[in-house]
Structure 1
């Protein structure tokens, strides 16, 4: 069985020694589990989930579902669910899902016309600061000033550091700053 220990360790900023100590293992013992040459037992899965503060399913590579973290409403606006009140809604994971893959559910038929219909899932991975150059023109979730989050296709704006945001059914948003972005990897009917 594969595992996500290296991803979890790196996300936390830990060295192999840090992770081994937290797991109660020797460095070489931890490395063998992380690289898959030693079996990851149920007890070690539970311990890793505890130290990395993730569900046990995030420790192993058996990802059949992913969490739904928010909804896409009219105009492509994104509303994230409160972390204090986690949703029980899950979405089937895409075939290439990673530990960072999450989904949004489209809850309004006019949210993303021509892209996704009501009750469809929109999947994205890791958020990046700003907008990577190779995501220009791709459908992305973008975080704007004042905590506005939208699903849009960003293009370079007229002024340096600004972007023009487009989607069907809404007026373009011109010359805005992007605080963070996450590329949409997959869209799937529910």
Structure 2
């Protein structure tokens, strides 16, 4: 009887491990890039003087004020504020850490119609779901550019129940032809 239980236990263990999905995630969590993956910067990404981040959306470098916060966008972050003429140069950066997060958006600047406000049919800090953005922080390492600290990719602002992380195809679209992602095998 004991060998029967052992055989049954091993069979169940093999069955369960065989059902595990190998490789990379798909769908909603496909943007979770594994440690050891490479972020290859193909074109120089200029930073504004006295800023520490450069934003990309739909394959273009955009100013923070011109960013469509409701769609996927990414930004590289430096450890220090940029001096005149600072840019992230073409390089292969290694992902050394990944973190998932979300952040409540304060003062998102949405237009509210007076009739909505007077009737009480609005969400903005009045008991409805808060507006949040969900994101991945990818910690980066480069021997040639040690000041490049992180790549962050946001899924776009949305009410809490609708907020989601960006997928890998959305991240690739945000980075465009300026940056390529090489997944760690």
TM-score range, shorter chain: under 0.3
Instruction: Flag the structure with higher strand content.
Output: 2
TM-score, with structure 1 as normaliser? 0.24
Taking structure 2 as the reference length, what is the TM-score of the superposition? 0.24
Structure ID, larger Rg? 2
**Higher relative contact order by CA 8 Å / sep ≥ 6: 1 or 2?**
2
